[in-house]
Amino acid sequence: MSRRNMNPKTRKEEYAEMTRQALMDSALELFIIKGFQKTSIEDIVQRARVTRGALYHHFQSKEEMFIDAYTMLVKQLVDVVEKNISDIEDSWERAVAGCKAFLDYCISPDYKSIRLDDAIGVLGWKKWRQIDSSYTMKVLREIIQDIKNTDEFSIDSVDHTANMIYSLLVEAALTIAGSPDKDQTHRQMFEIIQKMLSGLKKTGAVTSGGS
């Protein structure tokens, strides 16, 4: 480790990090509550209790803040999924547990979500898919590749299968978010996804934890 890396951060550097985090936290809360279009730069700086100059020192635009906020949420979700499947060796159980962790997070107190239509509208379809492919889809492809390697599943394309499962999970998350009874809807969505995953099994194949 270099001498430079061993040096503690200066008070100025610590303050800069705290300011940036305050801006990110404030922007994220407002994007979730009000949406991107109805959130102004003035709203963000007032909530963070900093100046416009401080905001533009860290971010070039509101769009850049939105990209960082959305990416942060995606990373948090992926971290939760990976933590829940890290100790599971069986590939089928990993797939089921990964989907369940995704849906569990959607009803947890820690869950925060930017509206999907807002995200696509601001980021554009290409950028939105790029962010998801870098994080969520990366984990899904690894999970699907693992179950394909067992030769117990009929999977021609890992990418197409991962895309379809991700679409199911996103739709399930949106359905849960809009439901007055999130716990019941969560159970129903998970059962549906389990059944659809089971449909990938080859005839006669038996998997642990499967039907």
The full set of domain ranges for the chain reads 9-59, 61-203
Q: What is the DSSP string of 127-147?
A: HHHHHHHHTHHHHHHHHHHHH
Cβ 59 vs Cβ 23: under 8 Å: yes
Higher pLDDT, 44 or 7: 44
Q: Which residues, including other chains, have CB under 8 Å from residue 132's CB and lie 6 or more apart? A: 74, 166
Domain 61-203 top-level CATH class: mainly alpha
> In this predicted structure, what is the pLDDT of residue 68?
92
Q: Which residues, including other chains, have CB under 8 Å from residue 194's CB and lie 6 or more apart? A: 96, 99
> In this predicted structure, what is the pLDDT of residue 204?
55
> In this predicted structure, what is the pLDDT of residue 191?
95
Confidence at 211, pLDDT banded by 50, 70, 90: very low
Q: Is the pLDDT of residue 187 over 90?
A: yes
Full-model pTM: 0.75
Identify any residues that bridge with 201 across adjacent strands, giving them in sequence order: 153
> In this predicted structure, what is the pLDDT of residue 8?
77
Average pLDDT, the chain: 86
* pLDDT tens by residue, 136-179: 888 999 999 998 888 888 888 999 999 899 889 988 988 888 88
Q: Is the pLDDT of residue 184 over 90?
A: yes
Spatial separation of the C-alpha atoms in residues 12 and 4, rounded to whole Å: 16
> In this predicted structure, what is the pLDDT of residue 205?
52
Top-ranked range on mean pLDDT: pick from 53-62, 98-107, 124-133: 53-62
* pLDDT tens by residue, 77-94: 899 999 999 999 898 899
> In this predicted structure, what is the pLDDT of residue 7?
67
Q: Does domain 9-59 have CATH number 1.10.287.130?
A: no
Q: How far is CA 122 from the centre of its chain?
A: 17
